[in-house]
């Protein structure tokens, strides 16, 4: 065993790696920020000169990779900074975050991609990768410089929280993306149909006297995009789906062999439109929380693998955005710290296996974004999380690391949380 570099063993652990299907008791050796070895033969004292952490039979898994985080920096530092977002991520077992370009100025320029990467290097505890804008200033009128932005370090391209209505422009974006092997992540909403809607269209909205957004506004945009993928062959990822009809469209596209994948937010897996209750603005989001049947469809989609990725859709909002009448309030929910706890509800309910949940939150995002993490193998980065699957805890606003406390899970009781988070072999978070 080479003596240079710091050695750390995690022993007495349940090792789970969705990339290889591993689920076994054993240990793991970290050296110089990478996994040097793993298996049943790594025990307390088996590696000379190594520090040891006894995991007490708890689960060690690849660190989570969150493909949708609205970071706030630059321009909205009062809501969140890369430093505070990364602290929240580490506390939630997330080792990599992808920043959306909805900043001020918008991340549509090489200098801004570079700014995010440098700022993250200086201030963030976890890996930060920018997603760049696919249209200039996110206006949906003119394509951004996809090739240059990718060379600068953008891992994917998106229009943030707005959809590109112009089909010809969207076709051009997908064509260019195909040439560069770039991933296009699109928000699904036909704005002319959604218009002034503030929650899911249906009986609950009518009862609350609020204008609704029909689920068809999402599905119609998705159907159009699938046609354009067929025309161009560009790699396409539906940023968030939220209803059964959209899941059917994704299934059909995949069955035809199209390069199409999708995400669902943990909110749409665990909450529905009834949670809005007495006009609670922390439950106002985009896409809106749907009917219970749609929520169940999202859970089924994750369990079957038709939905590829679970995201937090972390969108921090201060009191100035949320303490308003429901129709006027900003949409968005903070979610980095609660993503794992909320997702584990599906595991404890027996609806989704642990392997499948972790695959959707680490292995698949890594594969889609071309990252080396999201797996536990010799030579892989030691981006890991130690999880106590049974630990009960309650979401307390003042305990959250995020600058904004707009979580829909305030007061919620979860079972399971990250105890230690490792980034490149270094512990960046210890619970308690």
The CATH number of the domain holding residue 154 is 3.20.20.140
pLDDT of the residue at 5: 63
The answer to whether residue 207 is domain-embedded is yes
**Structural domain tally of the chain?**
2
Q: Which residues, in sequence order, are CB contacts of 319 under 8 Å at separation 6+?
A: none
The answer to whether residue 337 is domain-embedded is yes
From residue 85, give the alpha-carbon distance in Å to each of 104, 128, 130, 195, 427. Answer: 17, 10, 13, 31, 17
Q: Indicate if 104 and 238 belong to the same structural domain.
A: yes
Q: Indicate if 423 and 354 belong to the same structural domain.
A: no
Mean pLDDT of the chain: 96
Q: Indicate if 18 and 104 belong to the same structural domain.
A: no
The CATH number of the domain holding residue 411 is 2.30.40.10
What value does the mean pLDDT take over residues 302-310? 98
The answer to whether residue 2 is domain-embedded is no
What value does the mean pLDDT take over residues 110-123? 98
Which tens digits make up the pLDDT trace of 59-106? 999 999 999 999 899 999 999 999 999 999 999 999 999 999 999 999
Question: SS3 for 86?
Answer: helix
Cβ burial 363-378 (10 Å sphere, 16+ → b, else e):
bbbbbbbebebbbbee
- In terms of residue numbers, what domain contains 72? 63-369
Q: Indicate if 229 and 352 belong to the same structural domain.
A: yes
Q: Indicate if 68 and 47 belong to the same structural domain.
A: no
CB 55 within 8 A of CB 13: yes
pLDDT of the residue at 432: 84
Is 50 exceeded by the pLDDT of residue 1?
no
Query: Hey, how many other C-beta atoms are within 10 angstroms of the C-beta on 203?
Result: 11
The answer to whether residue 421 is domain-embedded is yes
The answer to whether residue 85 is domain-embedded is yes
Q: Indicate if 291 and 409 belong to the same structural domain.
A: no
Q: Indicate if 212 and 330 belong to the same structural domain.
A: yes
Q: Indicate if 31 and 78 belong to the same structural domain.
A: no
The answer to whether residue 375 is domain-embedded is no
- Predicted structure pTM score: 0.97
Q: Indicate if 322 and 417 belong to the same structural domain.
A: no
**Domain final position from 322, 338, 369:** 369
The answer to whether residue 376 is domain-embedded is no
């Amino acid at each position: 065993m080479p003596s240079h570099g710091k050695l750390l063993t995690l022993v007495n652990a349940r090792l789970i790696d969705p990339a290889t299907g591993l689920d076994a008791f054993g240990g793991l050796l970290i050296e110089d920020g990478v996994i040097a070895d793993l298996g049943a033969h790594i025990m307390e004292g088996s590696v000379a000169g190594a520090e040891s952490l006894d995991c007490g039979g708890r689960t060690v898994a690849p660190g989570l990779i969150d493909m949708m985080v609205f970071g706030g920096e630059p321009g909205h530092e009062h809501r969140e900074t890369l430093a505070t977002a990364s602290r929240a991520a580490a506390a939630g077992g997330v080792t990599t975050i992808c920043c959306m370009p909805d900043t001020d100025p918008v991340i549509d320029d090489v200098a801004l991609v570079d700014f995010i990467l440098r700022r993250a290097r200086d201030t963030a505890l976890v890996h930060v990768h920018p997603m760049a804008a696919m249209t200039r200033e996110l206006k949906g009128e003119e394509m951004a410089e996809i090739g240059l932005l990718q060379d600068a370090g953008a891992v994917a391209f998106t229009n943030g929280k707005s959809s590109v209505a112009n089909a010809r422009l969207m076709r051009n974006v997908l064509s260019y993306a195909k040439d560069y092997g770039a991933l296009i992540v699109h928000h699904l909403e036909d704005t002319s149909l959604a218009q002034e809607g503030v929650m899911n269209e249906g009986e609950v909205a009518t009862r609350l006297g609020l204008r609704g957004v029909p689920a068809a506004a999402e599905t119609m945009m998705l159907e159009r995009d699938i046609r354009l993928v067929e025309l161009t062959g560009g790699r396409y990822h539906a940023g968030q789906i939220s209803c059964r009809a959209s899941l059917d469209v994704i299934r059909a596209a995949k069955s035809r062999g199209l390069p199409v994948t999708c995400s669902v937010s943990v909110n749409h897996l665990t909450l529905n439109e009834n949670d809005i209750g007495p006009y609670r603005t922390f439950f106002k989001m985009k896409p809106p929380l749907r009917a219970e049947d749609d929520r169940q469809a999202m859970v089924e989609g994750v369990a079957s693998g038709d939905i590829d990725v679970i995201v937090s859709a972390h969108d921090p909002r201060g009191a100035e955005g949320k303490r308003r009448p429901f129709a006027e309030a900003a949409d968005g929910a903070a979610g980095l710290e609660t993503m794992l706890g909320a997702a584990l509800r599906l595991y404890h309910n027996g609806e989704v296996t642990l392997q499948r949940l972790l695959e959707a939150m680490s292995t698949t995002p890594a594969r889609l974004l071309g990252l080396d993490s999201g797996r536990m193998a010799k030579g892989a980065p030691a981006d890991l999380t130690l999880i106590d699957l049974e630990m009960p805890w309650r979401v307390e606003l003042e305990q959250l690391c995020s600058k904004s406390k707009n979580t829909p899970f305030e007061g919620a009781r979860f079972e399971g949380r990250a105890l230690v988070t490792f980034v490149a072999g270094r512990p960046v978070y210890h619970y308690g």
